[in-house]
Amino acid sequence: MDEIIAEAGMSSSTVYRYFPEGKRSLVRAVIGRVMDPVVDWIAGLAEVDELPSFEDVFVTAVERSWVFGRPFLGEADASPEAESSESSESAAATAAPDQIDLMVGVWAELARQPDLREVYADGYIRVRGEIARVVRQWQGRGVIAGGIDPDEAAAVIHNAAVGLIIQRTVTGELGRADAATTAHAVTRLLGL
């Protein structure tokens, strides 16, 4: 907490006023900052009139999760053209190492604090539920075959995406190309 207080340039009483449980409160805030925009973005995909391809959505979701400081804002459009200006993109890329370090710190806290693990697990459940909802919506529109169980498809999609995020956290940019390859493989596996 001392490092955080120094970095924030605030007094310890000010930091503890906003984060009364110290590190535990900060971890909860980071979890919300990471999960809530993801859930909202995925939920928006079910509502768009013209559906982007599954592969585009998958790669965009992995990229946005990798640099989670890049906001999940605006329409649920997965195309690169819909992204904000080049300067905000480079700012997000510059911030990525610190944010990834922060996320790894959160993961370490989850191993030590079961109550925080439950908070994170709730976020996972919300993400998985929204993915299943999108699969159902896309089935209703004939984009995804009706014979595929939406919850099973959501599990495959979600676990593949999370695996790529973890891989990229460990390997850095070496793991970047795998998002497109994995999206293509998941598309074929699910018969999309």
Which CATH number fits the domain that encloses residue 56? Answer: 1.10.357.10
Q: What is the pTM (predicted TM-score) of this model?
A: 0.73
Residue pair 191/145 in contact by the 8 Å Cβ criterion: yes
Residue 10 domain-assigned? no
Residue 60 domain-assigned? yes
pLDDT classification of 36: cutoffs 50, 70, 90: confident
Q: What is the distance between the terminal CA atoms of the chain, rounded to a whole angstrom?
A: 48
Residue pair 94/102 in contact by the 8 Å Cβ criterion: no
**Picking from 23-32, 87-96, 175-184, which range would have the lowest pLDDT averaged per residue?**
87-96
**Picking from 36-45, 75-84, 135-144, which range would have the lowest pLDDT averaged per residue?**
75-84
Residue 88 domain-assigned? no
What is the percentage of the chain residues whose pLDDT exceeds 70?
80
Residue 107 domain-assigned? yes
Which of the pair, 172 or 54, is modelled with greater confidence?
54
17-37 average pLDDT score: 79
pLDDT classification of 73: cutoffs 50, 70, 90: very low
Q: Which residue is it, tokens 């004939």?
A: 142
Residue 152 domain-assigned? yes
Residue 179 domain-assigned? yes
50-69 average pLDDT score: 77
**Picking from 8-12, 74-78, 164-168, 183-187, which range would have the lowest pLDDT averaged per residue?**
74-78
Which of the pair, 165 or 87, is modelled with greater confidence?
165
Residue 102 domain-assigned? yes
CA distance linking residue 46 with residue 138, whole number of Å: 7
What domain range includes position 110? 24-70+94-190
Residue 9 domain-assigned? no
Which of the pair, 88 or 175, is modelled with greater confidence?
175
Q: What's the domain count of the chain? A: 1
Mean confidence (pLDDT) of the chain: 77
